[in-house]
Structure 1
Amino acid sequence: MGLSARVFLALGLGVAAGIFFGELMASLEVVGNIFIRLFQMTVIPYVAVSLITAVGSLNLRAARELAIRAGSILLLLWVICLIAIAVMPLAYPQLDSASFFSTSLVEPRKSFDFVRLFVTDNPFNALANGIVPAIVLFSILLGLTLMGIEGKDKFLDILNVLKEALTLLNQKIVSFSPIGIFAIAAAAAGTLEVEQFGQLQVYLAVQAVFALLLGLWVLPGLISCLTPLRIKQVINAVKDPLLLAFATGNLLIVLPTIAERGKGLLRELAEDSKEAEPMLDVIVPTSFNFPDLGKLLSLGFVPFAAWFVGSSISAGQYPGFLAAGLASFFGDVSMAILFLLDMMRLPADLFQIYLAVDVLASRFGTLLAAMHTASLALMGACAMGGIISIRWKRLQVFLVITVIVTATLLGGMRLAFTKVLSNFQTKENVIASMQLLRNPIDDIKVHLTPPGFPDEDLETGVLQRIKARGAIRVGYFFDNIPSTYFNQQDELVGMDVEMAHQLARDLDVGLIFIPVHEKSFIKMLKNGTCEIIMSSLPVTEDRAQEIKFTNPYLIETLAFVVRDADRTLFGSRKAIQKLESLRIAIPNVPTLAEKLKKALPQAEVVILETLEEFFNQKGREYDALFLTAEAGSAWSILFPDYSVALPQPGITKMPVSYAVNDRDQEWLQFMNTWLELKKHDGTVNELYDYWVLGKSEKLKKPRWSVIRDVLGWVE
């Protein structure tokens, strides 16, 4: 059984194992990671050595011919493919998706330095850190320099031996591909959510459609517009190597066949082909060292990955992304994808998904790569033989048909995906169904309106009053998600509700929750109705003049909550400042209004009594909501048509604390000490992970599997 057959068998067995055993297969991810690292071990040195030897072994005339004529055609093919990659996301349907807050959202964006990316002052540093574009440029320049050096053959022989050794080592590692693919497929199939599987179909379908469109229509049509050959002639001549490339997933083995079939096509041009035929033997093997369209189309995974996690690549980011992607693909595709995911600030674990789906997608990519090689060789040979010219009438018809077919395919796929994915999407509001992470205390009472309490001696210390009555009175704000709010079971939950339970537990007293609002909470602290306000209270200058705040237990980030379509617009400070007639809503925190007016003097600021006024607005009453990114992310889960936008550059932080009466210093000192203890014993981090980041296992339901849900062998 050949390697390709064994890889397909391993893939099938891995998927089957993942479906059967479910999350029990997650442990195989380690095996998959080992395989990936072994595979990557030879890639960087191989890229450098192969480029230096390939370029350095050419003579100046051959290099000049290749660069000017065949190189121009290669650039044209790259441009066509990059355009295809740019329009592919139009096939992705609009999904109402949202996620918990992520710390990566507030990390300052690193400026993209093209000079440092492509030009290195230390090649060894580039090699050590896998900076592929810089390695490629350095290797090409070194190879060009070697062209004019006498006696270079001895050095190139050494490099060729090293290249052969790296190739053999790579082949040894590749022989273990079935094991690695099985582990990766089993782990992915065992942990992949049903909704995610539905979305992966989008990538596979779009890749296949565009590979076939480019390989069987665009490239043959381009040959027909620039040479005397017809589309049917081209397809008939290369159909066998195309099928062989698709079946084996190996481009290298079909290169000789492509060269021979190309010569046969050129012979059909009779005498005009005499000078062109020999050039096929130069172009076909040389082109193998440059990115083909099959490789390049894999760039489409990065925009897909952004869509997959509910993000996007803006139009302004595409030029840099495509340029870096093209340079990176001079090396290994896997390394390039890893590099680009990091560059676009997308989760690195998406690379595992890429490896799993690329086993299938790469087959179509190899078919396109074979057609790319044939097209480059034919058009390059015709150009060098002087038999290439633009057939304007053919070109006009070809362009019109291509635009119509592409638009039809994009629209059809988008409609189909929208319908298919609607069956995978779950409408359950995770935030609304969350319950307390830890067991609540038994003695608890939640008031929905401020109650009347018997008069107490306010001169007595707060701790003494709490101990005497056996309960602590905690003020909370309604719908202050994810701090204090009522879930679907009408239970008061949230991070600060959990903290209040822990405080009562540590004091060994009961817990009384009392609702407060912006206009009343200071008065309720002063008259003893509440001992403390625990509801993610922003520390402001005006509040600090009347009450005392504990030391901050969280530092949150100010951001805008906007409609999904406006997220990119509100991600730039300069773009926001240029907008006119802005109407921005804010919670009832006067200091926030002052800060916003200073930053955006042209905006109309509207204070809301409840945040639901913004999310339930009709039409466009408000353009944005000024809120913390942490709270905004939680609200966007309840209302997935909205997203959090963090204006760049610059990030505005805001401390969050608890409020106490300004008369009792002993109570304030106790709370500061208690908060410090809760930080050090992991309570704050654990609750933050659960309520803000959504990282607790309690939120995650077991993935469906045969062994659990059908056979019932495990719980």
Structure 2
Amino acid sequence: MRIGRIDLALQVLIGLGAGLLTGLFLGELAAPLNFVGTAFIRLLQITVIPYIMVALITGLGRLEIAEIGKLARTGGGVLGLLWLLGICLVLSMPLAFPDWPQRSLFQKSSLEAGTPVDFLLLFIPSNPFHAMANAIVPAVVVFSIFVGLALTVTPRRELIIEPLLVLGDTLARITGVVSRLSPIGVFALVAALAGTVSADDLFRLQVHVVVSAALALIAALWLLPAIVSSITPLRHFAILRTLRAPMLTAFATGSTLVILPMLAEACKRLIDESTDERPRLQSQDEAEEEREVQSSVDVLIPTFYSFPTVGSVLALGFVVFGSWYVGAPMDVSQYATMVLGGIASLFGGTAISIPFTLELVDLPASLFGVFLSIDFIGSRLSSLVGTMHYATIALIGTFALQRQIWFRLPVLLKGLVPGLLVTIALLLGFRVVYSNFIVVPYTAADVLSEAQLLGTETEAVVYIEEPEAPLPGGPRSYDDIVSSGSIRICYIPGNYPLSFFNSADKLVGFDVEMAHRFALRSRLEPIFLPLDQVSKAPDKLDSGYCDAVFNSTTVSLDRTTTTLQTAPLSLATLALVVPEKQRKNYETWADIVDSEDMKLAYSGYHSLPRAAATSLPTIEFVPLKGFKEQQAYFENEGKGADAFIDTAEEGAAWTLLYPRFSVVVPRPVTRVPIVYLTAKDSPLLLKALNTWLLIERETGGIQELEEYWIEGRRDAVATSRWSVIRNVLGWVN
């Protein structure tokens, strides 16, 4: 018995399931499969730019100017209305996103100002070849439209169009060959994702799938048919009944191309059923007009096939989701950029539009891999909506040519208003469910509580409270320190992420690890002694309580007479920690200076207010003395001050602990050098520290620790994710 060949859609589904099982079985061992997935993505993008050009040039070039005018008046207006509907649905998606805090440690990339979008370069192809080479899709689309329009009035245009049609068929064959690799590509992408993504991320991902499916079904089954039935003689349920076969076929295959002939016949059948009997036509002109009307479906559907559908526009919802997913909500200007650039780039399909739009709004390019891993579902939903989209244009356009279009406001409101209300209610319902019943636990703070020293931990003595032993009475010389075999280090407890106690009650942090490294290189045993605040450092150093203060402190002229400051080990970024909902109020320092009665709380850990006093003369500073006061400030939702001034590097750590707050780096970015301190009478120790800092800086030691402690990169010590092969079978360690 011969077994029938499995169709491609089922193969992709099998590949998705196999990839999911493989990722769960292998865990992080499946990560190398991402190489195969990336190769598949590149193959998908091979024909995109040529296809856009060929489709638009041939689609427009074969028409006459009069035909283009009719199409623009009928189908163009409907297309704009449908795009507007799709944009509204995309912009409504945040209503469904639950308030799941997403915070991370400081990222240097956040200091880079996003490159302003050059809309002239984006849409006007002064150099078409540059636009093609750099995949500037909107410019390629504009160029192709101009060429297509010019061909309509060019003699012997078929000499150009016919070869382009052959090229189009060739590109379609290439796409067909690549599409046969979809099961392998989807398998690799899903396996790598399932093997490396955290459970929290998977929970977040399901939010997008559920919301997108709901919006797609509402658009295809309710809103679009409601628009058609409100301005044509057609009935809502008659539209759905007649179009259900092409819609289901498009959903099953994930392609609208294969159902175009079926869709055209279904639309003609709807029109024939609704058209009243007419008297026999008397003139040849009237007969010609009737034939033109009857063939309008065959013209409208193929012509507008090259334009993005409502389903394609809904795919831009992934960009909105992506901003929530990574905890970087977009502002109004970014939404506008997404809409303009996104719709223009959709002419090239989602394979090029999504990465292009992610880049436009400064979201991580790696999100595109996440998009592709679930595009098996998204592409089918898009095809379902796309089928109804083409039918809407064909039906309204044809009835417009027959002069049977009328605007019935009661019918339109009866169909659209309930649909829009249901959409809003459904999105808000999702938000309630995900906020109260399916809640992802907040684990971002674990990056601090579970942190361990990156390097080899040296033998050390750690005092939690000041020892009662008598003080030496003065600072020790470097020779005395070396001969004693130990160095006394002052640290500030609770100064995240520089010096703090983890969940195992071990003293860790950037400055702590720097102290360990200096002690190890100097062959000294570190003795860590607590210090309440930096202002007490000169007295502690002069009394011999400690030999050096390893607390990243902003350099200060006021301190030059009381202590010695090392060469700068890095730069700190002046920032504000503010309630999440108020972050837009502090985008520039000018906004802060112009604010009336502004109060900024500050920590005793450093002297930032003095450094900022000259640029913020109208600000009242509220001191927080020690860890407990600073902790109370955040626990009381910032009571007593408008914001908390800090370095972005330290402030980001506090937002992990208190995710209702967010770090804002006002523009222009202000960066100040940070140093360590020694007693004013310890020049040799200062020289030793500076020499060691130079070595660490040049060998990448400081950068390594900054990436680990300040930016939270845990690649070097990341624990393996759960997998069957490791945690169940025990085949690998």
Which of the numbers 644, 647, 655 marks the counterpart of 2:673? 655
The aligned residue for residue 464 of structure 1 is 479
Residue 515 of structure 1 corresponds to 530
| Long gaps (5+) in structure 1 | none
- 1:329 partner SS: helix
Structure 2 residue aligned with 1:701, among 696, 719, 722?
719
Larger deviation, residues 447-456 vs 58-67: 447-456
Closer/same/farther in 2, CA of residues 447 and 218 from structure 1, 3 Å limit: closer
Residues 43-54 of structure 1: matches in 2 within 5 Å? 43-54=48-59
Deviations 1:136-174, CA, capped at 9 Å, x for gaps: 111112221222211221112222222222222222112
The question of whether the paired residues in 1 share the 8 Å contact of 2:593 and 2:619 is answered with: no
Residue correspondence of structure 1 range 481-496 to structure 2 within 5 A:
481-496=496-511
Please state how far the C-alpha of 1:20 moved relative to its aligned partner. 1.4
1:28 to 28, 33, 38: 33
Q: Which moved more, 1:264-273 or 1:315-324?
A: 264-273
Offset of 1:572 from its aligned partner? 4.4
Partner of 1:413: 430
Q: Secondary structure at the match of 1:472?
A: strand
Verify: 1:667 aligned to 2:685, yes or no. Answer: yes
Residue in 2 that maps onto 1:644: 663
Match of 1:431, as an amino acid? L
What does residue 580 of structure 2 align with?
A: 564
Give the match for residue 489 of structure 2: 474
Moved more, 281-290 or 383-392: 383-392
What CA deviation, in whole Å up to 9, does each residue of 1:467-514 have, x standing for no partner?
A: 122111111122211111122233221111111111111111111112
Tell me the residue number matched to 1:608. 624
SS of residue in 2 equivalent to 1:317: helix
Which residue of structure 1 aligns with residue 389 of structure 2? 372
- Which residue of 2 is the match for residue 310 of structure 1? 327
Query: What SS does the aligned partner of 2:535 have?
Result: coil
Paired residue for 1:233?
Answer: 238
Aligned residue in 1 for 2:23: 18
Structure 2 residue 302 is the aligned partner of structure 1 residue 297: no
Helix, strand or coil: the match of 1:212? Answer: helix
Distance across 1 between alignment mates of 2:474 and 2:271: 104
TM superposition shift of 1:578: 5.2
- In structure 2, relative to structure 1, the CA distance for the partners of 1:577 and 1:368 (3 Å cut) is farther
Q: Matched residues in 2 for 1:249 and 1:88: separation?
A: 23
Q: TM-score, normalised by structure 2?
A: 0.93
- Aligned equivalent of 1:430: 447
Cα gap change, 1:598 to 1:120, in 2 (>3 Å): farther
- Give, in whole Å, the separation in 2 of the partners of 1:548 and 1:378: 81
Contact 2:471 2:545 (8 Å CA) reproduced:
no
Q: Which of 196-205 and 472-481 deviates more?
A: 472-481
Q: TM-score, normalised by structure 1?
A: 0.95
* Partner SS state of residue 295, structure 1: helix
1:198 is paired with a residue whose SS is helix
1:180 aligns with 2:185: yes
Matched, 1:55 2:60: yes
In structure 2, what residue type is equivalent to 1:626?
I
Question: Within the alignment, does 1:104 sit opposite 2:121 as a pair?
Answer: no
1:93-113 deviation digits (Å, cap 9, x = unpaired): 001221122122111222222
Instruction: Find the counterpart in structure 2 of residue 689 from structure 1.
Output: 707
- Offset at residue 694 of structure 1 (A): 1.5
Post-superposition Cα deviations, 1:331-381, rounded to whole Å, max 9, x if no partner, equal 121111101111111111111110011111221111001111111111111
Letter in 1 for 2:372: L
The Cα of 1:455 is off from its aligned counterpart by: 3.2
Are the counterparts in 2 of residues 198 and 424 from structure 1 also a CA contact under 8 Å?
no
- Separation of aligned partners in 2, 1:267 and 1:18: 53
Q: Secondary structure at the match of 2:215?
A: helix
2:126 corresponds to which of 102, 107, 121:
121
In the other structure, the counterpart of 1:363 is 380
| Aligned-residue offset at 1:614 | 2.3
Tell me which amino acid in the other structure corresponds to 1:19.
L
Q: Supply the distance in 2 between the matched residues of 1:712 and 1:564 (Cα, whole angstroms).
A: 44
Q: Which residue of 1 is the match for residue 98 of structure 2?
A: 93
- 1:6-61 per-position Cα deviation (integer Å, ceiling 9, x unaligned): 11111111111111111111110111111111221221222222222222222101
Aligned residues: 712
SS in 1 for 2:75: helix
Of the candidates 378, 387, 392, which is equivalent to residue 404 of structure 2?
Answer: 387
**Mapping of 1:131-170 within 5 angstroms?**
131-170=136-175
Q: Where does residue 321 of structure 1 map in the other structure? A: 338
Q: Which amino acid aligns with 1:72?
A: G
Aligned to 1:210: 215
Q: Which residue is 2:650 aligned to? A: 631
**Range 567-576 or range 621-630, more displaced:** 567-576
SS at match of 2:545: coil
For 1:106, give the aligned amino acid: L
Task: Give the AA of the match of 1:565.
Answer: K
SS at match of 1:330: helix
Q: 1:255 to 1:581 in 2, by over 3 A?
A: farther
- Matching residue of 2:251: 246
1:427, 1:341 → 2: CA distance?
Answer: 24
Whole-angstrom distance in 1 between the partners of 2:184 and 2:81: 39
Shift in alpha-carbon separation, 1:447–1:186, aligned structure 2, 3 A:
closer
Instruction: Give the secondary-structure state (helix, strand or coil) at the position aligned to 2:662.
Output: strand
Residue matched to 1:334: 351
Name the counterpart of 1:270.
Answer: 275
Bigger CA drift: 59-68 or 415-424? 415-424
- Flag the 1:157–1:578 CA change in 2: closer, same or farther, 3 A: farther
Flag structure 2 segments of 5+ consecutive residues without an equivalent. Answer: 1-5, 279-289
Q: In structure 2, how many angstroms separate the alpha carbons of the residues matched to 1:181 and 1:53?
A: 32
Aligned to 2:228: 223
Which of the residues 589, 604, 617 maps onto 2:636? Answer: 617
SS at match of 1:359: helix
CA RMSD, Structure 1 to Structure 2 (Å): 2.1
Q: Distance in 2 between matches of 1:214 and 1:600?
A: 52
In 1, Cα distance between the equivalents of 2:166 and 2:94?
A: 43
Return the match for 2:266 from 261, 264, 268: 261
User: What residue in structure 2 maps to residue 130 of structure 1?
Assistant: 135
Distance 2:441 2:491 in 1: 37
The answer on whether the counterparts of 2:24 and 2:724 sit within 8 Å (CA) in structure 1 is: yes
Q: Do 2:485 and 2:524's aligned partners in 1 also have CA atoms closer than 8 Å?
A: yes
Asked if the contact 1:220–1:375 (Cα under 8 Å) also holds between the matched residues in 2, the reply is yes
Change (3 A) 1:375 1:600: farther
Aligned to 2:284: none
User: Residue in 2 aligned with 1:193?
Assistant: 198
Determine the C-alpha separation between the residues in 1 that align with 2:277 and 2:118: 48
Q: Which residue of 1 aligns with 2:285?
A: none
Letter in 1 for 2:574: L
Structure 1 residue 714: Cα displacement? 2.0
C-alpha distance in structure 1 between counterparts of 2:617 and 2:698, whole Å? 42
Cα distance change, pair 29–260 in 1 and its aligned pair in 2 (3 A)? same
**In structure 2, what is the Cα distance between the partners aligned to 1:544 and 1:42?**
65
Task: Pick closer, same or farther for the CA change 1:139–1:427 going to 2, 3 Å.
Answer: closer
User: Percent of aligned pairs with the same residue?
Assistant: 37
In the alignment, which residue of structure 1 is the partner of 2:42? 37
Call closer, same or farther: CA 1:383–1:581 in 2, change over 3 Å: farther
> SS state of the match for residue 267, structure 2?
helix
Provide, for residues 414-440 of structure 1, a one-character-per-residue CA deviation record: whole Å limited to 9, x for no partner: 112223542554486331231212232
CA deviation map 1:265-323 (0-9, x unaligned): 11123248946332111100111100011111100000111111112112342122111
3-state DSSP of counterpart to 1:655: strand
